Structure 1
Amino acid sequence: MEQPLQTEMVDMGLCEKPNGVLRTETPEPSYSATENQELEEFLPHVSRKEKQRFTDFEGKTSFGMSIFNLSNAIMGSGILGLAYAMANTGVLLFVFLLTAVALLSTYSIHLLLKSSGIVGIRAYEQLGYKAFGTPGKLAAAIAITLQNIGAMSSYLYIVKSELPLVIQTFLNLKEKTTDWYMDGNYLVIIVSASIILPLALMKQLGYLGYTSGFSLSCMVFFLCSVIYKKFQIPCPLSCDSMNATMFGNTSVIAVHVDAVEPEHEKFSAKMFTLNSQTAYTIPIMAFAFVCHPEVLPIYTELKDASKTKMQRVSNISIAVMYCMYFLAALFGYLTFYDCVESELLHTYSKVDPFDILILCVRVAVLTAVTLTVPIVLFPVRRAIHHMLFQNKEFSWIRHIIIAVVLLTLINLLVIFAPTILGIFGIIGATSAPCLIFIFPAIFYIRIVPKDKEPTKSPPKILAACFAGLGVLFMIMSLSFIIIDWATGGSKSSGSH
């Protein structure tokens, strides 16, 4: 009787340990041939092969390093334009919009992590495949590629425009020369080859935690400088005096500060403002927390990863960025009020082009955006892997070639396409809402089983409304860009 009983127990999923204690063995899930081929890269227990795939490794990145990486992915050049956004929305409306966007981003990441946990997949493109098959995978991969190429290009545009000014100030040159080291195009190539490419060649994203921490410290220095300058620069500082300074007449500042009486309406903090520029500031803020393509790769490499732990990483990162965004916008706005420009550093340069502190801030911002490019490049390379090399084992040659080709393409765009920012405006208005709002919501609705959450359950209804909000943002952003082009305007908007 003992042998049949043991056989029956094994059939039921029970087996006996040597010490006689029973344990339960969960039957290995069965997948179709196509699903097995797709999931093999991300579910080690599904694959019967012992060879490691390019994403099949144990997470080794610590909790703190993961926060640094995700915070650095969120932080972008958009922080330079938030003071301008506050000037065109008012303090209260700005706080409301910034808080709403932060909460919506947190909810969006929650949807991604929950969908990922149900199917055991930690890649954005594979969630698209699980939800809608190959079209879903391709749509996610294309959106990630376009969005991140646009982001990387905006960072390198900052290098192209700001680095020559830094060198000019270091050399104490009154006018820009034609020497090669003052040419932004050459400088972009040098920075890409000497700094960005070596970091982008690393196999795992977790190794960039140290550079992410240094990058964030540079932005903290930028924030501290903005707060310090609020109490150093005379207020109200007339816009005319700032413009005169650009022509080298630094003594004009003192004359205007004494001669111009305070204009209380122009040089006072407005709590609520609506004007023609307000519509352009909303998309800037809406996309200030874009980090969704990087969430799942960081989740994959998190040590002792769990949904709860990754959600904590996301919550802390978004909270830290929320505080930095708000403080940078508030003190930048309270320094210049309505005279603030869409790029905050340019406004400080009009006060004193050779200010040592502002020079250091420029260097810090350049360092921060330069070190962010490799982190943004990782999801693009991963998307290309899924589109073109789905079932291939990891290859260093392919890994290096993709990074070199991507950086070469982005450098060519920055150097030879003077109107590329308009093109990336269209890309940002289409791919960003998809990655933040639409895809996480519809993937969640499709992936979560109906027996677990019916279609008309509150969570799925909320997700559907979230997707609808994304469509609204997309229509609104595209409309603003088209109207701007049609009227011949050139509104500046920060990128991410």
Structure 2
Amino acid sequence: MSSGPQKYASVPQNEAPELPAHNSEEFELESLDLPRNSADQHELNDLQREAAALDPESQDDSAKSNMRMAFMNMANSILGAGIIGQPYAFKNSGLVGGIIVLIILTILIDWTLRLIVINATMSNTHSYQDTVFYCYGKYGRILLLVAISSFAYGGCMAFCVIIGDTIPHVLKAFIPRSVTSLPAISWLFQRNSIIIIFTTCISYPLSLNRDISKLAKASGFALIGMLIIVIIAAVRGPFADPSLKAPLTKLEWTVNLRSIFQGISVISFALVCHHNTIFIYNSLERATISKFAKLTHIACGVSMICCLVMGVDGLLNFGGNTKGNILNNFKSDDNWINIARFCFGLNMLTTFPLEVFVVRDVIKDIILTGDGANASTAHLELSSRQHFLITTFLVFSTMSVSLVTCNLGIILELIGSTSASLMAYIIPPLCYLKLKYSRIDYKSLNTSGKRDFILSTALPTIGCAIFGCLVMFISSYSSIRDSIHDKNAGHCVEE
């Protein structure tokens, strides 16, 4: 796979999208459980005879991922920084509310992930941004580019914050104090020094890679590390110092409607990987819709279970004192948690390049196509100099933010409420609605056909988009309000 997705030229904004004929693999919509009605059956039969995979000329199996490798990339993209914020999300939502929200959002995320690939196939485009341009023109595409780049860029900031919250405590725990306190080298074990050294020596070289499929081994290692973190945090929680805990209020036990949207935004940040979807789909060997659907079901299911275990266990153990990073609830000298911190720090170091890959691809579109809306960049690549300079700027500008803050919670809330909502809940269903409407002659449908279209397609997609707008505005307002009133203070590790 190249450094960006294979793309076709976009269609002028005022033209109705038409699904072109293909002769490659079967377009298996049946397995996707997409909203449809009896009036769509003839169309579905036609679609199943058309291709959903990439154009054969763009298939290069030498740079493709098998199902296991693709799962590692997708699961690692999902199970990133957001998982350690799940107890904080459950605290905001309430224990019962958090469980309900997590299940509903997992189903919703699974559906919209598959919609992105369906939309790209229906519009004959091979990037998320080109699909949006196809449906809503230049300004729709710009909105998506802003959402994608801010989500990935903000994720990089969060990852660097976590590196600073984890690695220093690990080193100090397992290296004798007589060494770490030496005046000549003690500065090496300080939070900011560790962030600079580890980001520069590990994340930066990985970020310079042009091929996302080559990150699969690193993703596999990071995924194993994440499972270790969940297990250790769940087991050690009951044995934490009682002074670190606080009882749950009635709202925190049940459903806390006052701050449930903030909980939704943190959970959304943990589950959303829509900006990586087309990259991962394009990296699959002999990619088909049904194959991608299976990958999505497994990755979302595993991620939900991990988030559920972490969220419930963390909240029950620390109650009202639960922090934005649950690992920061433990003492810095807890050696078992320091193992989890070490694994999590390494996970962030290897997940970081996936996010840089996405932001760099957005910048590539802007640089190589001017406004990024009227030309394909499938055959274009950044020069070596451009690639190096852009990657360097992205890595070290995001790293600089982590040098001045350790408040992970507010970062997760703001990114989850804005960029994640746009990418996951608003844009995919609206694109699907536009494409479906363009494929039928709505005015010529009888009353029953119109009713079926409204109930099975229009209402679910519009409802999902409205939900995304509510999350965006309510959660953003609440997060900024609480930050101004300093309710997010005290998120650093207890010494």
TM-score normalised over the length of structure 1: 0.76
| 1:24-39 map, 5 Å | none
Aligned to 1:60: 64
**2:96 aligned to 75, 92, 106, which one?**
92
Query: Is the 8 Å Cα contact of residues 237 and 317 (structure 2) preserved in structure 1?
Result: yes
- 1:306 corresponds to which of 288, 293, 298: 288
1:288 partner SS: helix
What CA RMSD, in Å, does the superposition of the two structures yield over aligned residues?
3.6
What is the CA distance between 1:220 and its match in structure 2? 0.7
Counterpart of 1:382 (choices 361, 364, 369) is 361
Distance 1:492 1:183 in 2: 19
C-alpha deviation, 1:312, in angstroms: 1.3
Contact 2:261 2:471 in 1 (8 A): no
Tell whether 2:309 aligns with 1:330. Answer: no
Asked if the contact 2:65–2:283 (Cα under 8 Å) also holds between the matched residues in 1, the reply is yes
Contact (CA 8 Å) 1:269, 1:334: kept in 2 or not? no
- Choose the corresponding residue for 1:343, options 318, 321, 325: 325
Provide Cα deviations, 1:128-157, integer angstroms capped at 9, x if missing partner: 211122222222112111111001101101
The 5-angstrom pairing of residues 162-241 of structure 1 reads 162-173=166-177, 179-230=186-237, 233=239, 238-239=242-243
Q: Which runs of 5+ in 1 are unaligned?
A: 1-29, 46-54, 244-262
The CA deviation at 1:56 is 7.6
What is the deviation of 1:117?
Answer: 1.4
Alpha-carbon displacement from aligned partner over 1:195-233 (angstroms, at most 9, x marks no partner): 1122122222111111111001011111121233256x2
Q: Deviations over 1:62-92 (max 9, x none)?
A: 1111111011111122222222333454433
Deviations 1:88-144, CA, capped at 9 Å, x for gaps: 544332211110110110111122121011123221111121112222222211211
In 2, the alpha carbon distance for the partners of 1:490 and 1:90 equals 17
Aligned partner letter, 2:333: F
4+ residue segments displaced more than 6 Å: 30-35, 174-178, 267-270, 417-421, 491-494
User: Which amino acid counterpart does residue 112 of structure 1 have in structure 2?
Assistant: I
Q: What is the distance in 2 between the residues matched to 1:426 and 1:88? A: 14
Change (3 A) 1:230 1:191: closer
Number of matched residues? 423
Q: CA deviation at 1:267?
A: 10
Q: How does 1:403-418 map to 2 (within 5 A)?
A: 403-415=391-403
Aligned-partner SS, 1:122: coil
C-alpha spacing 1:176/1:429, structure 2 compared with 1 (3 Å): farther
Opposite residue 469 of structure 1, the aligned amino acid is F
Q: Would the alpha carbon gap of residues 387 and 227 (structure 1) be closer, same or farther in structure 2, given more than 3 Å must change? A: same
The residue aligned with 1:104 is 108
Deviation at 1:158, TM superposition (A): 1.1
Taking a change above 3 Å as real, the CA distance of residues 414 and 421 of structure 1, as seen in their structure-2 partners, is farther
Q: How far is the alpha carbon of 1:405 from its aligned partner?
A: 2.0
How far off its partner does 1:393 sit?
2.5
Gaps of 5+ in 2: 1-7, 24-57, 370-376, 444-449
Are the counterparts in 2 of residues 438 and 467 from structure 1 also a CA contact under 8 Å? yes
Amino acid at match of 1:474: M
Asked if residue 138 in structure 1 is aligned to residue 120 in structure 2, the reply is: no
Match of 1:365 in 2: 344
- The 8 Å contact of residues 91 and 320 in structure 2, kept in 1 or not, is answered as yes
Closer, same or farther: CA 205–81 of 1 in aligned 2, 3 Å: same
CA deviations over 1:24-80 (Å, ceiling 9, x no partner) = xxxxxx989979xxx9xxx999xxxxxxxxx88556111111111011111122222
CA drift of 1:460 comes to 3.0
Residue 445 of structure 1, CA deviation: 2.2
Q: Which residue of 2 aligns with 1:316?
A: 298
Residue equivalent to 1:12: none
Which of 271, 275, 280 pairs up with 1:289?
271
Q: Secondary structure at the match of 2:271?
A: coil
Match of 2:99, as an amino acid? Answer: V
Larger Rg: 1 or 2?
A: 1
Aligned: 1:393 with 2:380: yes
How far did residue 470 of structure 1 move? Answer: 0.8
Per-residue CA deviations over 1:222-270 (Å, capped at 9, x if unaligned) read 1121233256x27xx633xx48xxxxxxxxxxxxxxxxxxx9x759997
CA distance in 2 between counterparts of 1:420 and 1:93 reads 22
Residue aligned with 1:341, SS? coil
| Change over 3 Å in CA distance of 1:279–1:145 after alignment to 2 | closer
Judged with a 3 Å threshold, the aligned counterparts in structure 2 of structure 1 residues 418 and 282 are, in CA distance, closer, same or farther, namely: closer
2:439 alignment partner, SS class = coil
- The CA distance in 2 between the partners of 1:364 and 1:335, in whole Å, is 21
* Whole-Å separation in 1 of the counterparts to 2:392 and 2:135: 32
Is residue 284–residue 493 contact of structure 1 (8 Å, CA) maintained in 2? Answer: no
Q: Please give the alpha-carbon distance, in whole angstroms, between the structure 2 residues aligned to 1:405 and 1:411.
A: 10
AA matched with 1:217: I
Name which of 464, 482, 485 aligns with 1:484: 482
Change (3 A) 1:94 1:489: closer
Counterpart of 1:66 in structure 2: which amino acid? A
What percent of counterpart residues are identical? 21
Q: Secondary structure at the match of 1:450?
A: helix
CA contact (8 A) 1:81 1:493 kept: no
Change in Cα spacing, 1:343 to 1:485, as seen in structure 2 (3 Å) is closer
State which drifts further: 97-106 or 391-400. 391-400
In structure 2, relative to structure 1, the CA distance for the partners of 1:408 and 1:453 (3 Å cut) is farther
Give the structure-2-normalised TM-score.
0.76
